[in-house]
Every structure is written in C-alpha cells, then in structure tokens.
C-alpha cells in the first residue's frame, strides 16, 4: 500500500529532457495543500524517474506531516506496518510497469509477509524528514538506506543491518587534479545531503582538519547531488559506495576521488516506542527466511553489477543518442509481436553488436542480433544484415527459448535462463539444469544456475553431461552484461 500516485493535481513538471532518454534535469514544483509550492531541481536518471517525481509530489499533497506526533497501533492482520522511505534506486522506486520495487522495498515486504502484515509506505523526500518521522512516532519503521550511527542509536531503536558501505568523495573525472587526501578538500566546493551520515563524518574530519568546509543541502538528495556533479553543476559530493556503484552506470563521468572513514552499516530504524518491531526485524534477518530474502535482494539489485568500465559505459551512453533512435521503433514492434520487453531486446542487441547492423564475428554470426546462419534459416530470416529482420528474428528466438522453459519458473529467473539458452544453446542449458539437480541446486534459480553453468567447462563435470563441454562461463557473463546495459537503456523506453 502506498499513498495515491495518480492524484497529482496542483503539481507541475517543467524542463525538456532529451527525447527518448529521460535523463536530463527538470524543475519540479511540489504544490502541497496550499498550492503555492516550491521549485526543486531534480534529475532523471533511471527508468522510474518521472513517476518517481510524481510519487514524491503525491506524498507532499497527501497531507502527511512527519513532524506531527503520533501513537501508532501495533501492526496486525488489519492494521498495516507503516514504513518511511525515500525514492531512489537503492531504496524504493516504481518500475516501468509502475509497480513498487527496490532493495528496501523487497526486504520490507518479505519481512512483513512473514509476520502476516501489510505494508503502508510513506514516501519522504529527504533523510531529515525520515528521521523526523521516526522521532515523532509517525511510522513503525524506516527503510531508507540509513547508516547506523551512535547518535541515531541513542535516539532510535536499530533494526536489521543489510549492507556494508563506505563513504566516498565523488567528483567529475575531468576536474583534475581530484582530491586524494583529506587536506585536499580545503579547496573543494563540497555539498552533501543535510542531516546525513556524511555531515557527521565531515564534521569529525574538520575537527582535525579545520580547513575542510562543506555545505549541507536540505533540498537535494544524494542522487540529485551526484547528478549535478555529473552535469558539471557541482564540484564534488559525498555518497555511500552502493549508491555510487548503481549511479555511475548512468553517469560514467563520475569518479571516486577517495574513500573517507571506515566502513559503516546501513539498515532499518524504528522509534524507541517500537523497539519490539526493530528486534523482530533483526531476528527475522537471522532466520532462514530472512537470509533467503536478503540473498534474493542482493542478486536482483547488486550482484550483477560488475567492475566499473568507464570506456564501455561512456560508449553506451553516447550510442544511446547516436544509434538507438534508428532502431528503437523496431525493438518496440518486436516486443509487441513476441512479448519480450523492448528494453531487454535493445540491451541484448547492444551486447551482441553494439547496435551495428553490419557486425560480423570470426565464427560467422552476424547482424544486429548476431544470428548464426542455421538459426536465421530456422526463423525465416533471409538477410541477417537487415536490421529489421535481425531484430525480429532475434526477438522470436528469445521468445522461443523463454517458451520452452517450464512455465512455473518465476521471473526474472525464467528470462535470465532464456538469455543463457540464447547464448549457449538449449541443449547445454538442459545439461546444466540436470547437473544442478544432481548437485542439490535449484535449476529454476538463476542465482544457483550462474554457479553451475561454468561447470560445463570443468573436466570434473562435463564428461558426465549428455552434450559435453561448453564455455559455460560465457552465458553468466552474457546475462550479467545485459542486465547492466538494460538498467542504462531502460529509460529510453519508458
């Protein structure tokens, strides 16, 4: 449950994001109940961007006041668990189907299900408002990427811990020289989110390095400040390493100048009056169900993000403008014909050929979707170098791989297995699924199959399989890269 995201009367969005990209900055007025409103500069960075802005606007207009005192009843079968969060890629956002998702969302929903509760989400637009909602007892829990700090622990009840992060100074890679040690920050225009753990860290550093100065921004979120750095509107900021890891794929010119301070834990908090729920969350996290939920969250949102490759991501972002528009309508048409998502097909095509319709490999596969001759013939593709034929043929082939898998395999695992089949061949995938069963793994789980598939290249295992040796590590790499590319490409299809 979340506050109505469709009722956004009284709010307006101005700006002119690049057509099809949805990645530029815009001005958003949050009118509130009075209609007077304030203007905020935000940036559109990932597929949920515009609806995320509307979600924020809807919350402001809903009349929720995080400063008001409250005495919440304990959640049960009829009373929901009220949870504060922020709208961001590492907490809670709406996917392309306008469905709530995100790391914090998935963990919280799993926790609530285990207790037999429904979740009522409260979307707040800053860390300060989340903390105010906790201190005033407006919510049972906050799942908003909050760092566990001694000062917060004294005022609030710590819930489960789900991540280990380090704070990082982030600047634009072209602004050389970058600050590489604390003393270098004396000459940097540094802006961070107000009431954040970054403020506490910088204040501690300034106690021994008095030349360090910074501005605490009570309007911009960490994601917005990172975007401003990427657009050369702000010199540097500080962000948690998990946030930087996700956003650098969209803004490859962001560079980590240095880590500051030791590693820290992030997780949930509850008001002191809800200490029992905080303890329940910690107990659940240690349980088998909690560990499974945590592993699913990690696999879905973080594990596939590989080592940052500036050259690759810079090229992708450039080709989003230069090449994708030529074929975008064809990806959409192929999606309508096959049921395979358009952004997934575009990400596949980028992995296969970098959207070069005349691409040819040494093994003879060619075209935008890099089809083999035999596959093309089976699909009725007469000219593999024709981008329209290639896209439609590749989409039909992926849909066939998907259809041949058991219908009860949950998504997104079924799609990842279909991609692996597209890459390595259905026969070798069937071998790997059989091997997974023999090893006590789940053949319907991509998290398990990405461990088993490489064994098709291991002489201890492949001789016992029906179809023998295969470079089983390749489909694992293939799926990982497509997932990364899809995250960046997705906004073009929103």
Percentage with pLDDT > 90 across the chain: 70
pTM over 0.85: no
Lowest mean pLDDT, pick from 7-21, 291-305, 402-416 = 7-21
Helix spans in 62-195 (H): 103-115, 127-135, 150-155
Q: Could you tell me which residues come within 8 angstroms of residue 247 by beta carbon, excluding any fewer than 6 positions away? A: 45, 89, 223, 226, 227, 239, 254
Closest CA to 434 of 406, 465, 460, 410: 465
Distance of CA 88 to the CA centre of its chain: 8
Per the annotation, the verdict on 352 as an active-site residue is: yes
Provide the mean pLDDT of the chain.
85
pLDDT band per the 50, 70, 90 thresholds, residue 154: very high
First to last CA, the chain: 23
Give me the pLDDT at residue 190, please.
96
Lowest mean pLDDT, pick from 196-200, 300-304, 324-328, 370-374 = 300-304
pLDDT of 324 > 50? The answer is yes
pLDDT of 164 > 50? The answer is yes
Average pLDDT over residues 104-120: 96
Average pLDDT over residues 304-333: 90
Distance CA 169, CA 127 (A): 19
Q: Which two tokens stand for residue 78?
A: 């009829």
Residue 478 CB-half CA count within 13 A: 22
pLDDT band per the 50, 70, 90 thresholds, residue 96: low
Average pLDDT over residues 180-189: 92
Domains and CATH numbers, the chain: 1-303 (3.40.190.10), 314-493 (1.10.530.10)
Percentage with pLDDT > 70 across the chain: 85
pLDDT band per the 50, 70, 90 thresholds, residue 70: low
Do the Cβ atoms of 121 and 81 come closer than 8 Å? Answer: no
Q: Which two tokens stand for residue 71?
A: 């005495």
Give me the pLDDT at residue 67, please.
45
Q: What is the pLDDT of residues 370-407, one digit of tens each?
A: 999 999 999 999 999 999 999 999 999 999 999 999 99
Give me the pLDDT at residue 119, please.
96
Average pLDDT over residues 83-96: 88
Kindly name the residue from 104, 352, 411, 451 that is annotated as catalytic: 352
């Amino acid at each position: 449950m979340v506050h109505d995201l469709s009722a956004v009367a009284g709010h307006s969005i101005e700006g002119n994001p690049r057509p099809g990209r949805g990645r530029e900055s815009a001005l958003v007025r949050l009118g509130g109940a009075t209609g007077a409103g304030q203007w905020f500069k935000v940036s559109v960075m990932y597929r949920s961007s515009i609806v995320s802005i509307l979600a924020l606007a809807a919350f402001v207009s809903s009349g929720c006041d995080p400063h008001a005192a409250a005495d919440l009843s304990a959640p049960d079968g009829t009373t929901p668990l009220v949870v504060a969060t922020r709208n961001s890629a590492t907490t809670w956002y709406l996917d392309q189907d306008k469905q709530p998702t995100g790391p914090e969302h998935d963990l919280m929903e799993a926790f609530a299900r285990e207790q037999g509760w429904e979740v009522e989400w409260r979307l707040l637009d800053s860390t300060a408002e989340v903390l105010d909602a906790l201190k005033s007892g407006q919510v049972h829990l906050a799942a908003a990427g909050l760092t566990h700090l001694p000062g917060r622990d004294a005022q609030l009840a710590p819930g489960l811990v789900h991540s280990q992060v380090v704070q990082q100074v982030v600047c634009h890679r072209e602004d050389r020289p970058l600050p590489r040690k604390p003393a270098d920050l004396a000459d940097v225009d540094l802006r961070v989110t107000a009431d954040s753990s970054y403020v506490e860290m910088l204040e501690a550093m300034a106690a021994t390095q008095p030349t360090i100065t910074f501005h605490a921004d009570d309007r911009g979120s960490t994601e917005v400040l990172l975007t401003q750095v990427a657009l050369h509107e702000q010199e540097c900021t500080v962000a948690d390493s998990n946030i930087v890891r996700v956003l650098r794929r969209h803004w490859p010119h962001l560079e980590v100048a240095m880590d500051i301070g030791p590693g820290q834990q992030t997780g949930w908090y509850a008001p002191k009056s809800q200490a029992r729920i905080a303890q329940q969350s910690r107990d659940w996290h240690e349980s088998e169900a909690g560990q499974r939920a945590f592993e699913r969250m990690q696999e879905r949102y973080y594990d596939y993000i590989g080592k940052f490759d500036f050259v690759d991501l810079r090229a992708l972002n450039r080709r989003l403008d230069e090449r994708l528009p030529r074929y975008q309508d064809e990806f959409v048409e192929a999606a309508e014909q096959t049921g395979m998502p358009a952004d997934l097909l575009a990400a596949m095509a980028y992995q296969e050929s970098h959207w070069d319709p005349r691409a040819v490999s040494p093994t003879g596969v060619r075209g935008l979707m890099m089809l083999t001759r035999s596959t093309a013939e089976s699909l009725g593709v007469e000219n593999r170098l024709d981008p329209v034929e290639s896209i439609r043929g590749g989409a039909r082939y992926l849909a066939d791989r998907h259809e041949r898998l058991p219908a009860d395999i949950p998504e997104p695992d079924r799609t990842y297995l279909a991609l692996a089949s597209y890459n390595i061949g259905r026969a070798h995938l069937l071998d790997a699924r059989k091997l997974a069963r023999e090893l006590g793994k789940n053949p319907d789980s991509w998290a398990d199959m990405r461990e088993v598939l490489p064994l098709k290249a291991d002489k201890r295992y492949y001789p016992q399989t029906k179809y023998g040796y295969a470079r089983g590590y390749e489909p694992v790499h293939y799926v990982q890269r497509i997932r990364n590319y899809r995250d960046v490409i997705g906004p073009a299809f929103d």
